[in-house]
């Protein structure tokens, strides 16, 4: 269950109403890596394995899915145990970015922004961040979580698990494009990032250096391109 129903008192236009309200569920996992406690993770109880895979990758603790020997997740006991293994060969990793590819159109940006805004769990609870992975206009994967960093972890986990060619993809993400967020996006190596929210100066600087096309305020029929606009089709 990713939501729970609470009976609440709602104040509307000068009157009180008693009504049910859907609230996003939040769980806590104690994450153990190779038998040692690593950290607590607060998350929406959906796709926990992708969350752990992406989190370990973005924290630099693994380089690929093949480095994980075993994952044990017990939501009821609030515990997750990940065991790594040494690889004899170089693991699969996302390819480097091309400064001009992939090409993207304004229509694709607006379509993906609209799909993100229509996320049913966000509309139901207002308490989650959302993310999409797409190839051109085709959505390959969508996810949500109570934490914005968790969304990026799940997106990274999906790319690693499926061994997707990251330079051919776009990510649409509901949060602000801060330096912390864009740094993690740069590690995923997806070249086009779309958000309905605003960037910060650090986010723009990191995207410029990393070769990311950073698109903000993607809402309704408009958006702003802050970096590397050369990826747009003429």
Q: Which pLDDT score is estimated for 97?
A: 67
What confidence tens digit (pLDDT) does each residue in 119-148 have?
A: 999 999 999 999 999 998 899 999 999 999
Instruction: Report the predicted TM-score, pTM, of the whole model to 2 decimal places.
Output: 0.92
Can you list the domains of the chain with their CATH numbers?
Answer: 27-84 (3.10.20.10), 106-231 (3.40.140.10)
Residue 137 burial (CB < 10 Å; 0-12/13-18/19+)?
middle
Q: Which pLDDT score is estimated for 101?
A: 72
Cβ atoms of 190 and 211 closer than 8 Å = no
**Is the per-residue pLDDT at 234 higher than 90?**
no
Burial 109-134 (b: 16+ CB within 10 A, else e): bbbbbebbbebebbeebebbbbbbbb
Q: Kindly indicate the confidence band of residue 99, based on its pLDDT and cuts at 50, 70 and 90.
A: low
Q: Which two tokens stand for residue 50?
A: 């992708």
Q: Which of 205, 209, 151 is nearest to 179 (CA)?
A: 205
Q: Kindly indicate the confidence band of residue 203, based on its pLDDT and cuts at 50, 70 and 90.
A: very high
Mean pLDDT computed over 78-102 = 76
Q: Provide Rg for the chain, Cα atoms.
A: 19
Residues linked to residue 35 through DSSP beta bridges, in sequence order: none
């Amino acid at each position: 269950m990713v939501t729970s129903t609470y009976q609440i008192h709602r104040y509307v236009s000068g009157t009180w109403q008693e009504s049910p309200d859907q609230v996003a569920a939040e769980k806590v996992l104690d994450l153990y890596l190779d038998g040692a406690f690593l950290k607590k993770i607060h998350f929406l109880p959906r796709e926990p394995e992708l969350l752990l895979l992406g989190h370990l990758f973005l924290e630099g603790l693994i380089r690929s899915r093949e480095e994980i020997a075993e994952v044990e997740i017990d939501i009821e006991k609030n515990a997750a145990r990940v065991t790594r293994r040494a690889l004899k060969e170089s693991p699969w990793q996302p390819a480097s970015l091309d400064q001009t590819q992939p090409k993207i159109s304004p229509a694709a940006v607006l379509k993906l922004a609209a799909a993100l805004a229509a996320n049913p769990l966000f509309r139901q609870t207002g308490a989650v961040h959302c993310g999409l992975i797409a190839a051109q206009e085709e959505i390959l994967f969508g996810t949500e979580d109570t934490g914005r960093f968790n969304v990026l972890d799940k997106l990274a986990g999906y790319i690693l698990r499926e061994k997707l060619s990251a330079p051919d993809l776009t990510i649409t993400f509901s949060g602000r494009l801060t330096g912390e967020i864009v740094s993690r996006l740069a590690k995923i190596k997806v070249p086009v990032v779309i958000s309905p929210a605003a960037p910060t100066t650090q986010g723009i600087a990191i995207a410029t250096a990393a070769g990311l096309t950073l698109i903000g305020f993607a809402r309704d029929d408009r958006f702003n391109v802050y970096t590397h606009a050369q990826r747009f089709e003429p």
